[in-house]
C-alpha cells in the first residue's frame, strides 16, 4: 500500500482517532479526522444497528469529501438490560451526554443486578467507503466481559473503567493501551480489516 494513502475517519472523537491511528499504522494508512474538514455536516446516526450507522458515516463522509472514508460505530451491550445501551451508548444519558453521565446512568440501571448477571459485550462495526460513497468493506467484532460495580483505572474512554475482562481480572481502564488493542472489539475488527485494506489499496 502506498504510504501516502489517506482515509478519513468519520468521527470527531479524538481518543477514538488516536486508537484507530495506532491500530492502522501497520497498514501504512494516513488516518485523518473528519474534524479537519469543518464544512462536513454531522451524520445523523438513525440506523437500527451498529453496522447501519457505520455504513452511513462512511458513505456520507466519502461523498461529501470525495475521499476514502472509514465509518465506525461501537458500543456496549449489557445482557441484563436487553442489550442497552447498544447503539445509543455514546448518548445514553441524553443529548448532552458525557462519559461520566453515561456511566452514572449505567450504574443506576444495574444497581440491583448481582455480579454474576452483569455480563456484557463491546461491539465494533466498521465500514469503508470509496470516494463515490460506495461501501467496499465491512467488519464487525465483539469482546465479552462484565460490568463492574465501580470504576477501575483511568485509561481508555467511554465505559472502559467499568468493563472487566474476567480472564485478566482487569478493566479496559486498567489495561495498558498495548494490551487493550489486542483484546478489544475495535482491535479485533481492525485486525480483520487490515489485510482487506491492504488488498484494496494495493
| Sign, CA torsion 7/96/143/160 | positive
pLDDT tens-digit map of 32-64:
999 999 899 989 999 999 999 999 999 999 999
Cell of 117: 448477571
pLDDT of 4 reads 56
For the chain, list the domains and their CATH numbers.
6-201 (3.90.950.10)
pLDDT of 67 reads 95
Q: What is the DSSP string of the chain?
A: --TT-EEEES---HHHHHHHHHHHGGGT-EEEEGGG-TTSPPP----SSHHHHHHHHHHHHHHHHTS-EEEEEEEEEEGGGTT-BGGGGGGTT-TT--HHHHHHHHHHHTTT--GGG-EEEEEEEEEEE-TTS-EEEEEEEEEEEEE-SS---S-SSTTGGGEEETTTTEETTTS-HHHHHHHSHHHHHHHHHHHHHHHHH-
Identify the residue whose cell numbers are 478519513.
8
In Å, how far are 29, 68, 171 from 138, measured between CA atoms? 17, 14, 28
pLDDT of 2 reads 46
Q: Give binding residues as ranges.
A: 11-16, 73-74, 157-160, 180, 185-186
The residues that bridge with 32 in the sheet, in sequence order, are 8
Q: Which residues are catalytic?
A: 73
Distance, CA of 66 to CA of 60 (rounded, Å):
10
Q: Give binding residues for Mg(2+) as ranges.
A: 73
Give me the tens of pLDDT residue by residue for the chain, a chain 202 residues long. Answer: 444 588 999 998 887 888 888 888 777 788 899 999 989 998 999 999 999 999 999 999 999 999 999 999 999 999 999 999 999 999 999 999 999 999 999 999 999 999 999 999 999 999 999 999 999 999 999 999 999 999 999 998 999 999 999 999 999 999 998 898 889 999 999 999 988 888 888 7
pLDDT of 20 reads 83
Amino acid at each position: 500500500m502506498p504510504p501516502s494513502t489517506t482515509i478519513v475517519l468519520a468521527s470527531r472523537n479524538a481518543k477514538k482517532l488516536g486508537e484507530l491511528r495506532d491500530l492502522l499504522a501497520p497498514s501504512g494508512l494516513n488516518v485523518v479526522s473528519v474534524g479537519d474538514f469543518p464544512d462536513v455536516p454531522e451524520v445523523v446516526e438513525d440506523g437500527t444497528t451498529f453496522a447501519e450507522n457505520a455504513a452511513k458515516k462512511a458513505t456520507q463522509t466519502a461523498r461529501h469529501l470525495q475521499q476514502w472514508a472509514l465509518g465506525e460505530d461501537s458500543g456496549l451491550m449489557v445482557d441484563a438490560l436487553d442489550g442497552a445501551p447498544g447503539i445509543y451508548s455514546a448518548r445514553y444519558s441524553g443529548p448532552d451526554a458525557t462519559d461520566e453521565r453515561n456511566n452514572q446512568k449505567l450504574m443506576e440501571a444495574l444497581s440491583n443486578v448481582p455480579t454474576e448477571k452483569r455480563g456484557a459485550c463491546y461491539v465494533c462495526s466498521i465500514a469503508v467507503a470509496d470516494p463515490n460513497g460506495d461501501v467496499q468493506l465491512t467488519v464487525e467484532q465483539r469482546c465479552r466481559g462484565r460490568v463492574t460495580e465501580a470504576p477501575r483505572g483511568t485509561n481508555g474512554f467511554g465505559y472502559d473503567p467499568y468493563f472487566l475482562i474476567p480472564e485478566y481480572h482487569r478493566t479496559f481502564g486498567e489495561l495498558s493501551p498495548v494490551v487493550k488493542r489486542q483484546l478489544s472489539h475495535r482491535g479485533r475488527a481492525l485486525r480483520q480489516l487490515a489485510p482487506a485494506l491492504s488488498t484494496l489499496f494495493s
